[in-house]
């Protein structure tokens, strides 16, 4: 199934540089680099041909037919023409990428505005219907019956995994439905428009939402909606955060420095109950160490918080910009591992781990120099200037849409997109195959195989920070303790 009508081939790596200023496949950008190199070579050979001809002291001032080097002069002229043509072609390729970027940005803004308007109108309609129903005894009775039935069918303690697997009375969800770029786009727009629906439900004028929402100042949006969800859920005893502790698991092992994005993805811990969620590698010398930190994804989708900090509670808290248990556990692990504020750090995370990695970089206590996220929900958390940031998303991964559509522009942000299951049926046995860490590891290997400058530049940043000498790796596990607020 094709994801696009943008002229790109299914399954291509699509690279966005600096937000959406330049958008093209890695092949197009690499081709422009090749044409630039060809231009330089042609200009160099043309210059050499002219210099060789000028070595003849008897050459005529002008080429009047008696030139003793006519073939050389003709070759020099054609090489010069080739250099000029290459310059124009490379310029056209870059202009096309910029123009597509501007068009994509405009389309995204228009889609957000339209979705926000629809959500606001829907909220007003629900408000009107609710007021009409609630003003009568029959309406109150029907509302109560509906609420009780929903609670009976989908109890508050039922986990998302149970619903996905059709257990405990849940429903089966088709992997093809959730692995569909159109559905992912709808979820992204819906997540960005929840605050607009709430504003309509409250009777707030639309102009207020446009001014303070995602399409305006960004003061009201997904984070505030998540904060409201947390507040409401805690009244019911759900999404309760607590203090965490982080401890090392096992002994240290020898580690080889990551050579690219593929190595970063391959070393992220998989989301397995009871296992470690963080891997920390130390390189360099005792006096000048450098570090690589890998953060795993969500382990438990139950809304009732347990001892597992990588759960739904932490997911919602992180989206709400609250102190999530997983964030606290990562900070504690990094400090316990001995990472000093001046030590250079590379972060990599999958899913919730990617969201946490971005927040660790924004925390600024650590000297984070590069961040790579895989399948993380969109975040409005701004990474500090100068931090090389690569965001890898599958356009058929619905989890990346949970955070809505971020409108943050960052010159350091490099967004790499790909439809993981373009033109093929997703594998059975998992509801979200495009979100699996294994699938993102495949995309990471494609990134390493690409000659595109922006991708190779990020790889170079990682290797420059880490170096090329062996180091030591340690696994860490965070545990949520009962009672009290989370700390960090």
pLDDT digits (tens, 9 = 90+) for 416-475: 988 898 878 888 777 889 999 999 999 999 999 888 888 999 999 999 999 999 999 999
Q: What is the arithmetic mean of pLDDT over 270-291?
A: 95
Residue 142 pLDDT > 70, yes or no?
A: no
pLDDT digits (tens, 9 = 90+) for 458-483: 999 999 999 999 999 999 999 998 75
Residue 322 pLDDT > 80, yes or no?
A: no
Residue 111 pLDDT > 70, yes or no?
A: no
Within 13 Å, how many C-alpha atoms sit on residue 97's CB side? 25
Helices (H) and strands (E) in the chain, counts: 14, 10
- Confidence class of residue 200 from pLDDT cuts 50, 70 and 90? low
- Show me where the domains of the chain are located: 28-59+67-106, 111-235, 244-480
Q: What is the arithmetic mean of pLDDT over 366-391?
A: 89
Pairing label, strands 278-284, 289-295: antiparallel
How deeply is 133 buried, as exposed, middle or buried, from its count of CB atoms within 10 A (0-12, 13-18, 19+)? Answer: middle
| 23 φ, ψ (degrees, to nearest 5) | -135, 120
Are residues 339 and 485 in contact, defined by beta-carbon separation less than 8 angstroms? no
Q: Which helix (H) or strand (E) holds 227?
A: helix 222-235
Q: Shortest CA distance to 98 belongs to which of 16, 15, 21?
A: 21
Top pLDDT among 392 and 211 is at: 392
Long-range contacts of 227-230 (CB under 8 A, 24+ apart): 227/320, 227/321, 227/322, 228/198, 229/316, 229/320, 230/316, 230/317, 230/320, 230/322
- Confidence class of residue 207 from pLDDT cuts 50, 70 and 90? low
């Amino acid at each position: 199934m094709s994801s696009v009508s943008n002229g790109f081939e299914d399954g291509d790596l699509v690279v966005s540089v600096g937000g959406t200023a330049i958008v093209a496949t890695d092949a197009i950008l690499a081709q422009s680099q090749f044409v630039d190199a060809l231009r330089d070579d042609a200009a160099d050979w043309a210059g050499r041909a002219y210099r060789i001809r000028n070595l003849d002291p008897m050459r005529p001032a002008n080429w009047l037919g008696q030139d003793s080097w006519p073939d050389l002069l003709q070759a020099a002229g054609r090489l010069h023409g080739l250099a000029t043509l290459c310059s124009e072609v490379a310029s056209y390729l870059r202009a096309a990428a910029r123009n597509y970027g501007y068009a994509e940005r405009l389309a995204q803004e228009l889609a957000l505005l339209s979705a926000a308007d629809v959500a606001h109108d829907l909220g007003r309609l629900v408000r009107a219907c609710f007021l009409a129903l609630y003003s009568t005894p029959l309406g109150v009775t029907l509302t109560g019956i509906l609420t009780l039935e929903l609670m009976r069918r989908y109890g508050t303690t039922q986990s998302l995994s149970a619903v996905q697997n059709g257990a405990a009375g849940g429903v089966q969800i088709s992997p093809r439905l959730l692995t569909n770029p159109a559905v992912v786009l709808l979820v992204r727009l819906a997540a960005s428009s929840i605050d607009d629906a709430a504003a309509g439900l409250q009777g707030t004028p639309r102009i207020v939402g446009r001014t303070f929402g995602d399409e305006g100042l960004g003061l009201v949006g997904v984070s505030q909606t998540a904060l409201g969800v947390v507040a409401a859920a805690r009244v019911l005893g759900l999404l309760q955060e607590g203090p965490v502790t982080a401890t090392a698991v096992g002994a240290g092992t020898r580690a080889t420095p990551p050579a690219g994005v593929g190595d970063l993805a391959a070393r992220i811990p998989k989301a397995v109950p009871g296992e470690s969620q963080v891997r920390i590698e130390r390189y360099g010398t005792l006096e000048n160490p450098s570090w690589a930190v890998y953060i795993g994804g969500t382990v438990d989708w139950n809304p009732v918080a347990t001892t597992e900090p990588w759960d739904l509670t932490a997911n919602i808290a992180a989206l709400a910009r609250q102190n999530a248990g997983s964030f606290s556990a990562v900070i504690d692990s990094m400090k316990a591992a001995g990472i000093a504020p001046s030590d250079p750090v590379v972060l990599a995370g999958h899913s919730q781990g990617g969201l946490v990695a971005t927040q660790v970089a924004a925390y600024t206590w650590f000297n984070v120099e590069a961040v790579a996220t895989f399948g993380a929900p969109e975040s409005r958390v701004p990474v500090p200037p100068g931090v090389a940031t690569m965001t890898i998303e599958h356009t058929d991964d619905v989890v990346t849409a949970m955070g809505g559509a971020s409108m943050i522009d960052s010159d350091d942000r490099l967004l790499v997109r790909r439809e993981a299951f373009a033109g093929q049926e997703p594998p059975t046995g998992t509801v979200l195959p495009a979100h699996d860490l294994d699938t993102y590891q495949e995309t990471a290997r494609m990134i390493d195989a690409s000659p595109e400058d922006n991708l190779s530049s990020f790889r170079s940043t990682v290797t420059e920070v880490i170096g090329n000498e062996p180091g030591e790796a340690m696994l860490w596990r965070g545990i949520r303790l009962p009672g009290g607020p989370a700390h960090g």
